[in-house]
Amino acid sequence: MKQGLAVRKESGAVWFLYALPALIVYAAFMAYPVINSLRLSFFSGKGYVLDNFVGFGNYVRLFTDPETSTRFFTAFRNTWVFFAIQMAVQNTLGLAFALILAGKGFRGKGLFRTIIFIPVTLSVLVTGYIWKLILNPQWGALNIVLTNIGLGNLALPWLGDPHTALGAISLVSSWQWVGLPTMMFLAGLERISEDLFEAAEIDGAGGWLIFVKIKLPLLLPIIGIVSVLTFVGNFNAFDVVYAMEGANGPPAYATDLMGTFFYRTGIAGQHPVGIPDLGLGAAVATTTFLVLFAGILLANRLTGERPEKKRGREAVQ
């Protein structure tokens, strides 16, 4: 016992040495840029030299300048819509797929698991381009199929209509990433002890009751992780929109996300002049960071609560 304690004490200091390389890399490539970006959001200047301290000037511009704030709040709202659709579609489907795959006596589990996971392994630029072709109003497969089965009225210019464009892109993104929550839910389901299901069945519980009373509560921590990952992934989303619509958020800024808005202000500048406003860009990046930070704190509170405490409370009830 004594010896064990000594080992533990020593490993405390050694632990730090082992973590040092990772810490250095993290500090240099993650922490420093984030902090520097935060600092730059208080500066303005010409081109890439930001030497003029403007306090909250960039933020004031971001939130009150009529043109800039319109673009910002449009992007902000779109990002939430984009997140909500993915949360609802991608994660619900992921859970459904996991339940089916984990079902007793389901044959071809390996095959279907692979099929569902394949899109995750493809490049976003590739899937974005393929879906752009499928959705093309002139020669896209989707509208040809719709027309041939007599639903020609539904053959819309999906990516060109402000009402459908963001939804279409969210669904493409959901299609691509649904494999991840499926895998995570599946792993969670497989960890639940068979005894619980057996006991419930003996007590006369049906499939739905088992799902609501046993599977769902025990999956709650995983639902929390999946939600946080979806939230982070979507608030930083840029690639899929860029691949399918470009960086200007067409049509009529309907697909402008925080990511594309940041890219236009801070990196590329507005076509065709193309000179970026780095200070304002840093303010956009910092705002995105703060939203993410707050969101993750909240999600942790809601779903990542210490499991013992929760289980204890349930037992009392």
* Region from 47-55, 80-88, 211-219, 302-310 binding other proteins, contact rule CB under 8 A: 47-55
Q: From 109-117, 133-141, 175-183, 305-313, give the range in contact with other proteins by CB under 8 A.
A: 133-141
Residue whose C-alpha is closest to residue 231's, from 135, 169, 184, 298: 298
CA–CA–CA angle 219, 299, 196 (5° rounding)? 15
CB of residue 94 vs other proteins: minimum separation in angstroms?
27
Q: Residues 78-117: x/- map of binding to other proteins (CB under 8 A)? A: ----------------------------------------
Instruction: Answer yes or no: are the C-beta atoms of 179 and 98 closer than 8 Å.
Output: no
| DSSP code per residue over 205-274 | --HHHHIIIIIHHHHHHHHHHHHHHHHHHHHT--HHHHHHH-TT-SSTTTT--HHHHHIIIIII-STTT-
* Residue 57 sits in the site that holds other proteins (CB under 8 A): no
Q: Is 159 in the site for other proteins (CB under 8 A)?
A: yes
The alpha carbon torsion through 71, 73, 78, 81 (nearest 10 deg) reads -170
Q: Does residue number 46 form part of the binding site for other proteins (CB under 8 A)?
A: yes
Question: According to the binding rule CB under 8 A, does residue 221 interact with other proteins?
Answer: no
- Contact between 275 and other proteins by CB under 8 A: the answer reads yes
Identity of the residue, 36 or 123, whose beta carbon is nearer to other proteins in the bound complex: 36
- For other proteins, give the closer residue by CB, 125 or 212: 125
Spatial neighbors of 187 by CB under 8 A, at least 6 apart, are 222
Mark the segment that binds other proteins (CB under 8 A) among 87-95, 116-124, 150-158, 178-186: 150-158
CA distance 249 to 244: 10
Are residues 294 and 288 in contact, defined by beta-carbon separation less than 8 angstroms? no
Evaluate whether 163 touches 251 at the Cβ level (below 8 Å).
no
| Alpha carbon distances (Å) from 284 to 37, 86, 264, 271, 275 | 10, 23, 11, 19, 16
Among 119, 233, 251, 295, binds other proteins (CB under 8 A): 251
Angle (deg, nearest 10), helices 165-177 and 109-121: 130
Residue 250 interacting with other proteins (CB under 8 A): yes
Question: Would you count residue 256 as binding other proteins (CB under 8 A)?
Answer: no
Is residue 24 at the binding interface for other proteins, with CB under 8 A as the rule? Answer: no
Pick from 30, 125, 187, 302 the residue near other proteins by CB under 8 A: 30
**181 versus 281: smaller Cβ distance to other proteins:** 281
For residue 275, the minimal CB distance to other proteins (Å) is 6
The correct pick among 13, 273, 315, 316 for binding other proteins (CB under 8 A) is 273
Determine, following the binding rule CB under 8 A, whether residue 47 of this chain makes contact with other proteins: yes
What's the CA gap between 154 and 146, in Å, rounded? 7
- Residues of this chain that interact with other proteins (CB under 8 A) are 29-30, 33-34, 36-37, 46-49, 65-68, 135-138, 143, 155-161, 245-246, 248, 250-252, 262, 266-276, 285, 289
